[in-house]
């Protein structure tokens, strides 16, 4: 009897040794599919930036100036870029992209390559430079600075000539990318109208891209087709609920017609990392005009736009045009400030930080690995909760000591390892102890933010229903 007890104990001991001992550092999951570049990773973290349309159209009321405007009409009476930057910062925006040149060809900097610029205007006696003032203001307010330079140029006589115009445009690009400090994003639209005598310009995008890479290697390039950021396929302020950060960029080009659905959803099996940016204006038009002063979007609409863009894993580029005084109009100031207040109120307290976090599966099986559940609340986007490779459905649970009333849940994947999740839902435990489904979604990617509206909740579960490889979740916040 003694001996058989001993044998049994030995067998149990051996078995225990065979079921792998808990690993302190099981290997990290291998990346799944394409992954973001360093510059794309930095861009994802920005979430929301401000777009500024400003130029000769501000003084004519046009949306697309014809290029024949007399530069003397550009004469803002009290231009103050610090006011623009302060407002952007107050509203929680992290960078500003300005129309250095729109389709009318008028340059907001004193370009040596054309007379059609601020240097031919009475503003600051012809010595002004909006890009200088704005880039300085951005630095002072700790915002990033970016430029929109329209390849379509309705003023330049070379437009439509082919190489000659492309060289002109590349030189302009070099000008704005070498004189104003770091540029975080270069924005190209695909508009390609006719030049003099109906001549069509074939843009040399590979050349334009190489100039950006050479002068500002950190900058992300936006266009319908990337190479770093894609257009979301609409200008109404929403991303797609199912949003893959992947595209086959070789099948796209700036201005491509009929592909807006693909641009909205991304392509599940796309070969390249190409996240979507949502550009939308706070007014009906992109440029300021007095007639639209009463049609500035309300803080509630801005909040809805934010949930449907940033909340769906896109970045938001919110256009706030500058008025003919050279200032943000009073209507925008009111709306943007109120929206900023709403955000500060909504995200004041992350309840997930106060919860006890557990998972029903953990990579390596031990409670002590690098991939434990509490990595989702450590405030470090480089760490994450992960499961073993074979586990593609699993759950995280947040238990609260006292009942809470969560209104919003925010979930982020560790996208440095690719985009994985394609179905998830959220459950809440009510005061009766029962779990109920309160939200659901498909993709997560850089982030998915959903409204909850729960009262008397004692627990929240984030259930990953389907993932293309083991889920790697870097953050869960509950507000």
Chain contacts with ligand FUL (rule: CB under 6 A) = 63-64, 189, 191, 279, 286
Q: How far is the CB of 369 from ligand FUL (least distance, A)?
A: 47
Of 60 and 369, CB closest to ligand FUL: 60
Query: Which residue is listed with tokens 């109906």?
Result: 198
CA–CA distance, 178 with 29 (Å, rounded to integer): 40
Assess contact for 306 and 316: CB atoms under 8 A. Answer: yes
Of 279 and 308, CB closest to ligand FUL: 279
Q: How far is the CB of 60 from ligand FUL (least distance, A)?
A: 14
Q: How far is the CB of 256 from ligand FUL (least distance, A)?
A: 13
Nearest-CB residue to ligand FUL? Answer: 189
Of 216 and 281, CB closest to ligand FUL: 281
CA–CA distance, 431 with 182 (Å, rounded to integer): 53
Q: Report CA-CA distances (Å) from 237 to 139, 301, 404.
A: 27, 10, 31
Q: How far is the CB of 433 from ligand FUL (least distance, A)?
A: 51
CB atoms under 10 Å from CB of 29, counted, come to 21
Of 225 and 372, CB closest to ligand FUL: 225
Residue 266's closest CA among 30, 29, 33, 31? Answer: 33
Return the H-helix or E-strand segment holding 221. Answer: strand 220-223
What is the separation, in whole angstroms, between the first and last Cα of the chain?
61
Q: How far is the CB of 432 from ligand FUL (least distance, A)?
A: 51
Of 58 and 387, CB closest to ligand FUL: 58
> At what angle are helices 81-90 and 130-140 packed, to 10 degrees?
40
CA–CA distance, 250 with 227 (Å, rounded to integer): 10
3-state DSSP assignment of residue 359: strand
Q: How far is the CB of 64 from ligand FUL (least distance, A)?
A: 6
Of 291 and 346, CB closest to ligand FUL: 291
Of 64 and 253, CB closest to ligand FUL: 64
Ramachandran assignment for 150, one of left (phi > 0), alpha (psi -120 to 50 degrees), beta (any other): beta
Q: How far is the CB of 242 from ligand FUL (least distance, A)?
A: 25
Partnered with residue 322 across adjacent β-strands are: 328
CA–CA distance, 46 with 41 (Å, rounded to integer): 9
């Amino acid at each position: 009897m003694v001996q058989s007890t001993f044998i049994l104990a030995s067998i149990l001991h051996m078995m225990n040794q065979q079921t792998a001992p808990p690993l302190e550092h099981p290997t990290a999951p291998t990346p799944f599919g394409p992954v973001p570049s360093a510059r794309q990773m930095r861009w994802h973290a920005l979430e929301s930036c401000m777009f500024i349309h400003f130029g000769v159209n501000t003084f004519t009321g046009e949306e697309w100036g014809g290029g024949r405007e007399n530069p003397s009409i550009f004469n803002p009476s009290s231009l103050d870029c610090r006011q623009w930057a302060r407002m952007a910062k107050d509203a929680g925006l992290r960078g500003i992209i300005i129309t250095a040149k729109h389709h009318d060809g008028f340059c907001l900097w004193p370009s040596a390559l054309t007379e059609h610029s601020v240097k031919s205007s009475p503003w600051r006696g012809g010595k002004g430079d909006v890009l200088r003032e704005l880039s300085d203001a951005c630095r002072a307010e700790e915002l990033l600075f970016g430029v929109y330079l329209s390849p379509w140029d309705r003023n330049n006589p070379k437009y439509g000539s082919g190489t000659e115009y492309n060289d002109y445009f590349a030189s302009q690009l070099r000008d704005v990318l070498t004189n104003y400090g770091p540029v975080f994003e270069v924005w190209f639209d695909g508009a390609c109208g006719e030049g003099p005598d109906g001549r069509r310009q074939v843009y040399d995008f590979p050349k334009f891209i190489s100039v950006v890479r050479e002068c500002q290697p950190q900058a992300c390039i936006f266009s319908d087709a990337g190479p770093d950021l894609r257009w979301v396929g609409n200008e109404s302020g929403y991303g797609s609920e199912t949003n893959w950060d992947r595209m086959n960029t070789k099948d796209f080009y700036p201005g491509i017609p009929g592909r807006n659905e693909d641009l909205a959803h991304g392509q599940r099996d796309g070969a390249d990392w190409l996240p979507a940016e949502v550009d939308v204006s706070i007014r009906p038009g992109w440029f300021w005009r007095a007639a639209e002063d009463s049609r500035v979007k309300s803080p509630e609409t801005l909040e809805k736009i934010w949930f449907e863009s940033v909340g769906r894993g896109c970045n938001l580029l919110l256009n706030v045009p500058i008025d003919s005084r050279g200032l943000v109009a009073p209507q925008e100031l009111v709306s943007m400030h109120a929206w900023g207040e709403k955000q500060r109120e909504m995200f004041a307290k992350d309840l997930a930080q106060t919860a006890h976090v557990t998972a029903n599966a953990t990579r390596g099986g031990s409670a002590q690995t690098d991939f434990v559940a509490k990595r989702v609340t450590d405030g470090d986007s480089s760490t994450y909760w992960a499961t073993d490779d074979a586990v593609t459905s699993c759950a995280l649970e947040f238990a609260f000591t006292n009942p809470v009333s969560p209104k919003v849940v925010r979930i982020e994947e560790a996208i440095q390892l690719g985009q994985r999740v394609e179905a998830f839902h959220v459950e809440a435990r009510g005061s009766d102890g029962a779990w109920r489904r309160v939200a659901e979604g498909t993709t997560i990617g850089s982030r998915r933010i959903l409204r909850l509206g729960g009262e008397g909740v004692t627990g929240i579960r984030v259930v990953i229903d389907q993932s293309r490889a083991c889920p790697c979740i870097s953050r869960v916040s509950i507000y």
